[in-house]
């Protein structure tokens, strides 16, 4: 996951914003937020099997990012993105062994530098890494499923804070669209399966979704540029997730993002390129027409 950064940085000529606004706008805000979730969760509920595994994932992600960034771009990359990738792996992946944490973090970062189209990575890094591990190493790993508190207060705090940060980052519409879609489709699923509607709504009240909604699907590097496109993709993810859920896929949201995210980006790139070609053609024709 890459932090949902502010789209436009404040001009140096603008009045200096309040401290809380600067903190919220900072690129460090998402890492601080996710670290707080981790610390509060672990200190109050013991959500982690051990700090060492999470630290291993973070360290691996950051080292891989620094090395690959320097080698392939010539610059030292900002550590925030790799930090969030590592910490997400540390929270979302569950394994009694250490090696899956290191491997998943390394795979996540490596995907940024391998699976690229026109200079842009097309998978959300931690989504790619975790899905790869769940596909390929299911005997050794599981996803975060029930390891979290189930009380309403912590849920509300995380949702409010997450929504606030996303609002400031101008990405709230993605999460809001997804949540509304999820709820509507949960009712549809309940109608189809005959299961209690509460059981279909239940997953979104759990921990996996808090990270998924606030960090994964809002990743600026792997989401579309247009507001409308972002909302369409959020709906598409929810629809694919519903289909996967009807097939009883435990990790439906993660797989849905894995399936929907890259094609959406590729379509956007194709449309962008076509638009640029048209503009170029029009601009090329204009002098001729003027003559």
Nearer to another protein, 51 or 270 (CB): 51
Q: How many whole angstroms separate alpha carbon 205 and alpha carbon 182? A: 11
DSSP 76: P
User: Binder to another protein among 90, 207, 220, 261 (CB under 8 A)?
Assistant: 207
- E strand residue ranges, the chain: 93-94, 116-117, 120-121, 142-143
By CB under 8 A, residue 151 contacts another protein:
yes
Phi, psi (deg, nearest 5) at residue 45: -125, -15
User: Binder to another protein among 99, 192, 273, 274 (CB under 8 A)?
Assistant: 99
Stretch that binds another protein, among 32-40, 162-170, 188-196, 213-221 (CB under 8 A): 188-196
39, 173, 207, 210 from 165: Cα distances, Å: 18, 12, 18, 13
CA angle 136, 89, 77 (to 5 degrees): 115
By CB under 8 A, residue 173 contacts another protein:
no
User: Binder to another protein among 9, 10, 21, 96 (CB under 8 A)?
Assistant: 96
Neighbours of 95 (CB within 10 A): 17
By CB under 8 A, residue 248 contacts another protein:
yes
User: Binder to another protein among 6, 26, 35, 45 (CB under 8 A)?
Assistant: 45
By CB under 8 A, residue 118 contacts another protein:
no
DSSP assignment string, 143-181: E--S-S---HHHHHHHHHHHHHHHHHTT-HHHHHHHHHH
Number of residues that bind another protein (CB under 8 A): 59
User: Binder to another protein among 137, 161, 239, 266 (CB under 8 A)?
Assistant: 137
Stretch that binds another protein, among 8-16, 24-32, 206-214, 270-278 (CB under 8 A): 206-214
Computed on alpha carbons and rounded to an integer, the radius of gyration of the chain in Å comes to: 20
Helices (H), 46-78: 51-73
By CB under 8 A, residue 201 contacts another protein:
yes
Binding mask of the shown chain, residues 66 to 85, with x at each position contacting another protein by CB under 8 A? --x--xxxx-----------
Q: How many whole angstroms separate alpha carbon 177 and alpha carbon 235? A: 7
By CB under 8 A, residue 198 contacts another protein:
yes
Nearer to another protein, 247 or 288 (CB): 247
Give yes or no for a contact between 249 and 138, defined as CB atoms under 8 angstroms apart.
no
Nearer to another protein, 178 or 209 (CB): 209
Separation of first and last alpha carbons in the chain: 52
Nearer to another protein, 195 or 272 (CB): 195
User: Binder to another protein among 9, 52, 205, 226 (CB under 8 A)?
Assistant: 205
Interface contacts to another protein, rule CB under 8 A: 45-46, 48-49, 68, 71-74, 94-97, 99, 103, 106-107, 110-111, 113-114, 116, 119, 132-134, 136-142, 145-152, 155, 193, 195-196, 198-203, 205-208, 245, 248-250
């Amino acid at each position: 996951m890459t932090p949902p950064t502010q789209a436009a940085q404040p001009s140096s000529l603008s009045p200096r914003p309040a401290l809380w606004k600067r903190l919220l706008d900072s690129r460090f805000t998402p890492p601080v937020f996710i670290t707080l979730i981790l610390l509060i969760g672990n200190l109050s509920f013991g959500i982690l099997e051990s700090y060492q595994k999470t630290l291993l994932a973070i360290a691996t992600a950051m080292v891989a990012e620094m090395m690959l960034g320097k080698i392939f771009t010539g610059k030292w990359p900002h550590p925030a993105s790799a930090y969030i990738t590592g910490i997400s792996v540390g929270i979302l992946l569950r394994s009694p062994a250490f090696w899956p944490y290191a491997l998943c973090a390394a795979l996540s970062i490596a995907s940024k530098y391998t699976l690229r189209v026109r200079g842009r990575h097309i998978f959300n890094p931690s989504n790619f890494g975790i899905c790869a591990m769940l596909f390929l190493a299911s005997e050794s790993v599981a996803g975060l499923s029930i390891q979290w508190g189930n009380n309403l207060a912590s849920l509300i705090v995380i949702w409010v804070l997450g929504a606030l940060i996303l609002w400031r980052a101008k990405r709230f519409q993605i999460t809001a669209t997804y949540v509304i879609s999820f709820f509507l489709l949960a009712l549809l699923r309940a109608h189809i399966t005959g299961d209690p509607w509460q059981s279909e709504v239940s997953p979104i009240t759990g921990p996996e979704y808090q990270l998924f909604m606030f960090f994964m699907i809002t990743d600026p590097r792997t989401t579309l540029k247009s507001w409308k496109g972002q909302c369409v993709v959020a709906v598409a993810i929810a629809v694919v997730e519903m289909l996967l859920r009807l097939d009883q896929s435990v990790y439906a949201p993660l797989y849905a993002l894995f399936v929907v995210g890259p094609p959406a980006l590729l379509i956007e790139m194709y449309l962008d390129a076509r638009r640029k070609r048209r503009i170029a053609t029009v601009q090329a024709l204009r002098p001729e027409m003027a003559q």
